[in-house]
Amino acid sequence: MSRPGPGALISMNGLGFPPQNLARVVVWEWLNEYSRWRPYTATVCHHIENVLKEDARGSVVLGQVDAQLVPYIIDLQSMHQFRQDTGTMRPVRRNFYDPSSAPGKGIVWEWENDGGSWTPYDMDICITIQNAYEKQHPWLDLSSLGFGYVIYFNSMSQMNRQTQRKRRVRRRMDLAYPLTIGSIPKSQSWPVGANSGQPCSCQQCLLVNSTRAASNAILASQRRKMYQASGTGTGTGTLPVRQSNTFNGTGTTLWTGGTGPAGGAAKGEPGRSPGGVPGGNFSRSQSAPGGAQLPRQNNLNRPGTQRVAVLSTRASIPPGVPALPVKNLNGTGPVHPALAGMTGILMCAAGLPVCLTRAPKPILHPPPINKSDIKPVPGIPGICRKTKKKHLKKSKNPEDVVRRYMQKVKNPPDEDCTICMERLVTASGYEGVLRHKGVRPELVGKLGKCGHMYHLLCLVAMYNNGNKQDGSLQCPTCKAIYGEKTGTQPPGKMEFHLIPHSLPGYTDTQTIRIVYDIPTGIQGPEHPNPGKKFTARGFPRHCYLPDNEKGRKVLRLLIMAWDRRLIFTIGTSNTTGESDTVVWNEIHHKTEFGSNLTGHGYPDPNYLDNVLAELTAQGVLEPSSKD
Q: What is the DSSP string of 131-147?
A: HHHHTT-SEEE-GGGTB
Q: What is the DSSP string of 11-41?
A: PP-TTSSPPTT--EEEEEEEE-TTS-EEEPP
* CA–CA distance, 223 with 231 (Å, rounded to integer): 12
Following CA atoms 124, 125, 127, 129 in sequence, which dihedral angle do they give, to the nearest 10 degrees? 170
The 10 Å Cβ neighbour count of residue 296 is 14
| Domain boundary assignment for the chain | 23-181, 398-476, 492-618
Partners of residue 59 on adjacent β-strands: 75
Following CA atoms 204, 178, 123, 66 in sequence, which dihedral angle do they give, to the nearest 10 degrees? 80
pLDDT of residue 83: 84
pLDDT of residue 144: 79
pLDDT of residue 258: 36
- HSE-up of residue 132 (Cα within 13 Å, Cβ side): 24
**How would you list the strands of the sheet with 384-387, edge to edge?**
384-387, 492-499, 511-517, 541-546
| Spatial contact of 122 and 276, defined as CB atoms under 8 Å apart | yes
Sign of CA dihedral 547, 553, 558, 564: positive
Q: Coil, helix or strand for 412?
A: coil
User: Comparing C-alpha atoms, which of 170, 179, 164 is closest to residue 130?
Assistant: 170
* CA–CA distance, 161 with 479 (Å, rounded to integer): 56
Q: What is the DSSP string of 558-590?
A: HHHHHHTT-SEEEE--TTT--SSEEEE-S----
User: Comparing C-alpha atoms, which of 101, 150, 121 is closest to residue 1?
Assistant: 150
* CA–CA distance, 550 with 527 (Å, rounded to integer): 33
In order of 358, 369, 378, 502, 507, the CA distances from 373 in angstroms are: 35, 7, 14, 14, 18
As a residue count, the chain comes to: 627
Rounded to the nearest 10 degrees, what angle do helices 607-617 and 549-563 cross at? Answer: 30
Question: Tell me, what amino acid is at 420?
Answer: C
Sign of CA dihedral 604, 610, 615, 618: negative
* CA–CA distance, 328 with 345 (Å, rounded to integer): 14
| Spatial contact of 75 and 350, defined as CB atoms under 8 Å apart | no
* CA–CA distance, 111 with 134 (Å, rounded to integer): 18
| Spatial contact of 12 and 24, defined as CB atoms under 8 Å apart | no
In order of 52, 243, 336, the CA distances from 61 in angstroms are: 12, 28, 19
Rg (CA), the chain: 31
* CA–CA distance, 266 with 497 (Å, rounded to integer): 52
In order of 397, 480, 481, 625, the CA distances from 447 in angstroms are: 18, 10, 10, 19
| Spatial contact of 303 and 273, defined as CB atoms under 8 Å apart | no
User: Comparing C-alpha atoms, which of 422, 419, 489, 486 is closest to residue 447?
Assistant: 419
| Spatial contact of 79 and 139, defined as CB atoms under 8 Å apart | no
Considering all CA atoms of the chain, what is the largest pairwise distance in Å, rounded to the nearest integer?
Answer: 97
| Spatial contact of 74 and 29, defined as CB atoms under 8 Å apart | no
Average pLDDT for consecutive 10-residue bins of the chain (627 residues)?
45 43 86 87 93 85 88 88 81 90 93 88 93 91 85 93 90 92 48 38 46 53 58 43 37 34 33 35 35 38 34 41 42 50 61 56 88 92 78 62 86 88 87 66 88 89 71 83 88 95 94 95 90 93 96 95 93 84 93 88 93 91 65
DSSP for residue 252: S
Name every residue whose Cβ is closer than 8 Å to that of residue 319 and which is 6 or more positions away in sequence.
none
Sign of CA dihedral 129, 171, 161, 300: positive
Q: Coil, helix or strand for 160?
A: strand
- HSE-up of residue 308 (Cα within 13 Å, Cβ side): 24
pLDDT of residue 498: 95
**Prior bond of 191 cis (ω within 30°):** yes
CA 405 and chain centroid, separation: 45
* CA–CA distance, 307 with 310 (Å, rounded to integer): 9
Helices (H), 55-155: 102-105, 123-134
* CA–CA distance, 77 with 192 (Å, rounded to integer): 11
- At 330, phi and psi to the nearest 5? -95, 5
- At 510, phi and psi to the nearest 5? -80, -175
Partners of residue 89 on adjacent β-strands: 82
* CA–CA distance, 208 with 214 (Å, rounded to integer): 10
Name every residue whose Cβ is closer than 8 Å to that of residue 163 and which is 6 or more positions away in sequence.
none
